[in-house]
Chains A and B, each alone.
Chain A
């Protein structure tokens, strides 16, 4: 309930056995993830309308996000989160901090 929920991070990356989340070595930006990789959103950087819009589209701390594919010309990149698909450009994805989940399989 309420924003207590935001502290319950890490529920997505349960497969990860070791340690506390986020572990700094896994901390990266969304544009660094490759096709098929998953991460947990830690924070959206930037401010104003940009940040507000991404938050409203569900880019919230603790949300699981997966890279579906890069566009044929590398940019933009298609992601899946909260059960829907959305494309962001690299410059925007670079402002989303994520904790990369270890490969599950």
Chain B
């Protein structure tokens, strides 16, 4: 059985993912493109004696070298030479979608176009003549409706025919106008003469050289004897500039759109429907000047409610189940190391991953709903002004908001952001959003030392986190590899009714990543951390927390933290907080109450310890800002595909926490005494 490699390409919002799911079903592999943070999806399709390997290329509007996704997409086609390119095109937005198509046509591979969403197009009075379009482009065109699975058999049949050479797919050569065509043929001849980059289509290379494509230029420069070609390119470019008073790359874009509007005129019939579409009327309300914000806040509240309130019920069931398992294990196993490893290490670790699964499922469901309906783009539209003042994209809002719940799914939610640089920035500042695990620490300290002013203190802490996020975002925004100044271009696609199938795939995809990728590592990390708190053994029994390795680490750190007003017990508690922030409270409980009267509450013990309010405030600030928990660090690692970024997070957050806590402590001593 021969394998047919298909590269799936298309614009964002063209229904590419839906079509991919319709073709491959559950047989998918999700990973990253080598060395980058861009997600790579591959799927398999077996059908009457043929095995398809379908590679889902990143959704892009074009194939310039300015964005990572576009470079990945075109390099895959040029270097891996898939048997067929399957280009998904939104029939209801044909003109702009065809811009990518004409560029794909230049890559010299056989191509098939899936004319998708013909149902939507029809409802808007747009009729596309597939045969005519096919004739104009020189490429088979198959009408499809991905959401309903219509046209899939036809599509598969055509893909097989094209892959086996039984059906022609010979993309037409665009005519770029006399001057450019002359330049192109001269460059093609030169390329041939000099034997440069013979593996690439020559006309494409010539076009890219004229466009001044920096990736292709640098590749040509590395070849030997390329200088005559490059100097000729420079001459031609400046001549074209003189003739047209316009850059060659702009001329090329215009020529492409010229060709496209010609094709659209011939292949598309629009029966004028002048009334507003349903989507437009919906937008009149959802992005209304006055109503837009209240609705948005309501929707966000609903998402939170769904995630944390409704999610709390199944979480409680899972907790019960876990407790039951724990008790049965205690009953079944004799006391000793094995029981401790299983109960405190493994169950504790699994619990950490599994117990919050319902929250995470609800959250992913909510976000998938936003994505699939198109509301996510509206949320970005509404919030962009606010986010822009932080140097971020409007789409960063939802991941940051989710960070107040838990940073792990929040970091995974950054997958909705297309620009890798902005996504990275959003990931790096996400841990500064005060997650719910830090709340118990605030309750304890604010309740003990700032009775009556808890609200202000806790509110101040959340605000401090947001302000720090803004500062850090600006700082990292400057030093992160700056992509060339790409404009903010946010497409607002029409609203769509989500399909159950689509939602299921979306939620399943993310949950799978959460369980498989994060789950395993979090489990290992939890067991390791447990071991640090359970060793060295004293007489075969676990040591007191202060004598364990983790406790010793805390004591070693004490001199570093002393300028902030923290004693050794607080240092130890902070180290244990690395597992999960809420552990700080239970550690403090163990440390402060050890040897004291058992009737004393932790609040009373803390008050009796002689801790100053200034130090208490500094401690809360430190907990807010210092290292993310293990789970978050693993999420950062997996989502960025590099260990560099979690390390950056640890480093900058420690420094930030120390400096801020120091300032708060010293100023607090002055004002609070």
Residues of B close to A82: CB separation below 8 A: 95-96
Q: Is A6 a contact of B287 with CB atoms below 8 Å?
A: no
Give CA–CA (A52, B253) in the complex, Å: 8
Give CA–CA (A84, B251) in the complex, Å: 23
From A75, which residue of chain B is reached at the shortest CB distance? B385
Among B93, B394, B492, which residue has its beta carbon within 8 angstroms of that of A78?
A: B492
Q: Is B99 a contact of A89 with CB atoms below 8 Å?
A: no
Interface residues of A in 1-39 (CB under 8 A from B): 1-6
Residues of A close to B244: CB separation below 8 A: 3
Residues of A close to B386: CB separation below 8 A: 73
Interface residues of B in 37-90 (CB under 8 A from A): 61-62, 64, 66
Among B254, B289, B489, B494, which residue has its beta carbon within 8 angstroms of that of A57?
A: B489
Give CA–CA (A97, B394) in the complex, Å: 25
A interface: dominant SS: mixed
CB of B485 within 8 A of chain A? yes
In angstroms, how far is the closest chain B Cβ from the Cβ of A33?
Answer: 16
Task: Given A50-B487, A87-B490, A88-B489, decide whether A3 and B258 contact each other with a Cβ distance below 8 A.
Answer: yes
In angstroms, how far is the closest chain A Cβ from the Cβ of B181?
Answer: 9
Interface residues of B in 559-592 (CB under 8 A from A): none
Q: Is A52 a contact of B249 with CB atoms below 8 Å?
A: yes
In angstroms, how far is the closest chain B Cβ from the Cβ of A21?
Answer: 18
From A84, which residue of chain B is reached at the shortest CB distance? B93
Q: Is A53 a contact of B488 with CB atoms below 8 Å?
A: no
Q: Is B487 a contact of A53 with CB atoms below 8 Å?
A: yes
In angstroms, how far is the closest chain A Cβ from the Cβ of B273?
Answer: 12
Q: Is A2 a contact of B95 with CB atoms below 8 Å?
A: no
Q: Is B253 a contact of A86 with CB atoms below 8 Å?
A: no
Q: Is A89 a contact of B488 with CB atoms below 8 Å?
A: yes
Q: Is A55 a contact of B253 with CB atoms below 8 Å?
A: yes
CB of B476 within 8 A of chain A? no
From B64, which residue of chain A is reached at the shortest CB distance? A52
Q: Is A86 a contact of B255 with CB atoms below 8 Å?
A: no
Give CA–CA (A58, B249) in the complex, Å: 14
Task: Given A75-B385, A78-B381, decide whether A49 and B254 contact each other with a Cβ distance below 8 A.
Answer: no
Among B257, B287, B292, B382, which residue has its beta carbon within 8 angstroms of that of A58?
A: B257
Give CA–CA (A82, B11) in the complex, Å: 15
Q: Is A57 a contact of B485 with CB atoms below 8 Å?
A: no
Residues of A close to B489: CB separation below 8 A: 53-54, 57, 86-88, 92
Residues of A close to B92: CB separation below 8 A: 83
CB of B484 within 8 A of chain A? yes
Q: Is B292 a contact of A72 with CB atoms below 8 Å?
A: yes
Task: Given A3-B177, A56-B253, A57-B61, decide whether A84 and B485 contact each other with a Cβ distance below 8 A.
Answer: no
Q: Is B253 a contact of A87 with CB atoms below 8 Å?
A: no
Give CA–CA (A61, B388) in the complex, Å: 29
Residues of B close to A75: CB separation below 8 A: 384-385, 388
Please tell me the number of chain A residues within 8 Å of chain B, measured between CB atoms.
39
Give CA–CA (A72, B95) in the complex, Å: 30
Interface residues of B in 105-123 (CB under 8 A from A): none
Q: Is B64 a contact of A85 with CB atoms below 8 Å?
A: no
Q: Is B258 a contact of A5 with CB atoms below 8 Å?
A: yes
Task: Given A56-B99, A84-B93, decide whether A48 and B492 contact each other with a Cβ distance below 8 A.
Answer: no
Residues of B close to A83: CB separation below 8 A: 92-96
Q: Is A86 a contact of B254 with CB atoms below 8 Å?
A: no
Q: Is A56 a contact of B290 with CB atoms below 8 Å?
A: no
CB of B486 within 8 A of chain A? yes
In angstroms, how far is the closest chain B Cβ from the Cβ of A83?
Answer: 6
Q: Is A1 a contact of B250 with CB atoms below 8 Å?
A: no
Interface residues of A in 56-104 (CB under 8 A from B): 56-58, 60-61, 68-76, 78, 82-89, 92
Give CA–CA (A52, B62) in the complex, Å: 10
From B490, which residue of chain A is reached at the shortest CB distance? A87
Q: Is A86 a contact of B66 with CB atoms below 8 Å?
A: no
In angstroms, how far is the closest chain B Cβ from the Cβ of A60?
Answer: 6
In angstroms, how far is the closest chain A Cβ from the Cβ of B210?
Answer: 13
Q: Which of B93, B283, B484, B487 gathers the greatest number of chain A CB atoms within 10 Å? A: B487
From B292, which residue of chain A is reached at the shortest CB distance? A72
In angstroms, how far is the closest chain B Cβ from the Cβ of A66?
Answer: 12
Q: Is A56 a contact of B61 with CB atoms below 8 Å?
A: yes
Residues of B close to A73: CB separation below 8 A: 382, 385-386
Give CA–CA (A70, B69) in the complex, Å: 30
Provide the B471-500 mask, 1 if CB < 8 A to any CB of A, else 0: 000000000000111111111111000000
CB of B262 within 8 A of chain A? yes
CB of B448 within 8 A of chain A? no
In angstroms, how far is the closest chain B Cβ from the Cβ of A29?
Answer: 14
Q: Is A72 a contact of B257 with CB atoms below 8 Å?
A: no
Residues of A close to B485: CB separation below 8 A: 48-50
From B257, which residue of chain A is reached at the shortest CB distance? A60
In angstroms, how far is the closest chain B Cβ from the Cβ of A71?
Answer: 6
Residues of B close to A47: CB separation below 8 A: 247
Give CA–CA (A81, B626) in the complex, Å: 47
CB of B261 within 8 A of chain A? yes
Q: Is A6 a contact of B254 with CB atoms below 8 Å?
A: yes
Residues of B close to A72: CB separation below 8 A: 287-290, 292-293, 382
Q: Is A51 a contact of B490 with CB atoms below 8 Å?
A: no
In angstroms, how far is the closest chain A Cβ from the Cβ of B53?
Answer: 30
Q: Is A86 a contact of B492 with CB atoms below 8 Å?
A: yes
From B90, which residue of chain A is reached at the shortest CB distance? A84
Give CA–CA (A61, B386) in the complex, Å: 32
Q: Is A1 a contact of B290 with CB atoms below 8 Å?
A: no
Give CA–CA (A70, B289) in the complex, Å: 8
Residues of A close to B20: CB separation below 8 A: none
Known: A55-B253, A71-B287. 17 other contacts (CB 8 A): A1-B258, A2-B258, A3-B251, A49-B64, A49-B66, A49-B485, A58-B95, A61-B254, A71-B385, A72-B382, A78-B381, A83-B95, A83-B96, A85-B493, A86-B489, A86-B491, A89-B384
Closest 6 CB pairs of A and B: A2-B177, A73-B385, A49-B484, A5-B258, A49-B66, A85-B492
Q: List 25 A-B contacts (CB under 8 A).
A: A1-B175, A1-B259, A5-B257, A49-B66, A49-B486, A50-B485, A53-B62, A58-B95, A58-B96, A60-B253, A60-B254, A69-B287, A69-B289, A72-B290, A75-B384, A76-B384, A76-B385, A76-B488, A78-B287, A83-B94, A83-B95, A84-B93, A85-B492, A87-B381, A87-B488
**B residues whose Cβ falls under 8 Å from a Cβ of A:** 61-62, 64, 66, 92-96, 99, 175-177, 244, 247, 249-251, 253-255, 257-259, 261-262, 280, 283, 287-290, 292-293, 381-382, 384-386, 388, 394, 483-494
**A residues whose Cβ falls under 8 Å from a Cβ of B:** 1-6, 47-58, 60-61, 68-76, 78, 82-89, 92
